[in-house]
Amino acid sequence: MSQPPAAQQHPQVVVLDTGGQYCHLITRKIRELGVYSEIRPSETPASELRGVKGIVISGGPASVYEDGSPQVDPAIFELDCAVLGICYGQQLLAWHLGGTVQKGSKGEYGLAYLDTRAEAPIFRGIGGRQQIWMSHRDTVTEVPAGYEVLGSTETCAIAAMGHSAKRHYGVQFHPEVVHTERGRQLLSNFLFDVCACEQDWNPRDQALRIEEEIRRVAGDRNVFFFVSGGVDSTVAFTLCLRALGESRVRALYVDTGLMRDGETEFVTRVFASLGRDIFAVEHAQERFLSALAGVREPEKKRHIIGELFVQVQQDILESGHYLDENWVLGQGTIYPDTIESGGTAKADLIKTHHNRVAGIQKLISENRLVEPLHLLYKDEVREVGHELGLPPELLSRHPFPGPGLAIRCLCEDAVRPVERLDEGWLAPLHSVGVQGDSRSYRPVLLLDSPPSTPGIHHRATDLINRLPGINRVASLAGSHAPVESLTTTVAYISATRLDRLRAADSLVRSLCHASGYDDKVWQFPVIIVPLGTPERPDSIVLRPIDSVDGMTAQSVPMPLPLLTEMTNALLAQQGICAVLYDLTHKPPGTIEWE
């Protein structure tokens, strides 16, 4: 298939960005199906969209009936092209064309089941009951005149609607995420049956394109990388190495003291295999631990780490010759980093990433940053890594957050007991979530039923949908003390707690590797929380999840023998009172707790 450069292509499908966390994911899924697509602001005039074959209106965190909410040019509905509204996009479609949108009696987050009620081209070959992924509270309660209801769930009476003659469709769920089991086919039906698109885009073989882009951005300048040793930064560095040669690329790894057990040694081995005299280690443990002393709030932690990274970078750059015009900074930033940091025009801030803080924004404004992977998602980065011949032990690694163990070490500033509720125990711990495309920071509901209880994941989803004050549900896998006696303690990041977390994380990874369980999950965060007793003040949270790109994630059950062995081993560690098992999907919970 011949393919002109993207800059010369005209998109067959345009995605209008209304601030949804999955906006870029929609575009990526369309490109995966072989159709070139671009993102535009939601208010793009209809006159600028003439000639496209399809328009997709993304989801978003706002309510269509509120002042200042993202809107579209109503004239787009008169264009000779197909329209698909997703989540907020369906609500916007209904709102502009005379339907009714209201706040639902309860939210619907995570897994749900759609029953199609009418035949339509968009559901060709995928009728009947099917698993979908929801993230909303507002809902369409009356379709516009001439439109019909195409599908519903137990909670949402109008989960899909359409007008086949106008080629207008809306779905309340998210077909672009992997957990909507027939979402890819729905998008394919929209592209090829409804829009009559032709394949004009090949999403594979990205390495050569990216290397050309690196040479264009870098020009005759050299590139200096602060690498983490994860998949993203290593692939980005290797691409620059191939594009520019060993003499023009350097890497430095900052040991923040927030790393996993054995991490620095592993990273050193990987980069030693890539070339000679291209890699060094900066030991900065004391600087980071001192800066984080007494800090509880997750966003403040991220800002401190991000800004300190920039300060450390600045010190290193000034100590060498990297500040002159011959050098630029390289990073392994990927799409989700910018999306969840409010990276699209109207996206709500879910959590600040260390590579999108003010210091990095300054480098961007000075045109001194190269981010080879900024258009790719994690699975695509791994594919590029395979193209480059990087070792499987690196490419198969579970993702690890840039701020390190700091955001897996929860802190509290007061002693608070758990509170008994009809549905469980309200733990006085707060975690970050994403509900209706917006950030939440709410307490955790603790169930004293074990994680192996039949139907417990479904129960957790239902509880989060019904109870507005929580965003996460965890199950008690084992404890030295009765659940009613657990309290939070005043606790911050310290060497003792980090060592405790490192030991727990190392144990979990070892057991998962030995059992083969790590091949069954996409990521397995291990979190320490200050919940316990005076003698054993901390507890460990297990968070095994399945995902493709980190935009959505599903909590994964663990085989009972492995869970039992892991729980007993963790409870034997000093200072650990209980082991909790996170049952929460994303949404409504983020993958990390902070």
Active site residues: 87, 174, 176
Amino acid letter for position 493:
I
- In degrees and rounded to multiples of 5, residue 568 shows phi and psi of -60, -40
Cis peptide preceding 588, ω within 30 of 0: yes
Query: Looking at the DSSP assignment, which residues form a beta bridge with residue 529?
Result: 539
Going by C-beta distance under 8 Å and a sequence separation of 6 or more, which residues neighbour residue 341? 349, 350, 351, 352, 353, 356
Residue 410: how many CB atoms within 10 A of its CB? 27
Query: Looking at the DSSP assignment, which residues form a beta bridge with residue 136?
Result: 108
Quick check: helix, strand or coil at residue 430? Answer: strand
**Would you say 563 and 581 are in contact if contact means Cβ atoms under 8 Å apart?**
yes
Nearest to 103 by CA among 132, 136, 147: 136
Residue 423: how many CB atoms within 10 A of its CB? 15
**Would you say 347 and 436 are in contact if contact means Cβ atoms under 8 Å apart?**
no
The set of long-range contacts for 142-147, using a CB threshold of 8 Å and a minimum separation of 24, is 142/94, 142/99, 142/100, 143/94, 143/99, 144/93, 144/94, 144/97, 144/98, 144/99, 145/97, 145/98, 147/94, 147/97, 147/99
- Specify whether the backbone of 355 is left (phi greater than 0), alpha (psi in -120 to 50) or beta: alpha
Burial class (CB in 10 A: 0-12, 13-18, 19+), 550: buried
Amino acid letter for position 397:
R
Dist. CA 478–CA 570, nearest whole Å: 9
- In degrees and rounded to multiples of 5, residue 477 shows phi and psi of -80, -25
Dist. CA 46–CA 78, nearest whole Å: 9
Dist. CA 244–CA 240, nearest whole Å: 6
R_g (Cα) of the chain, nearest Å: 24
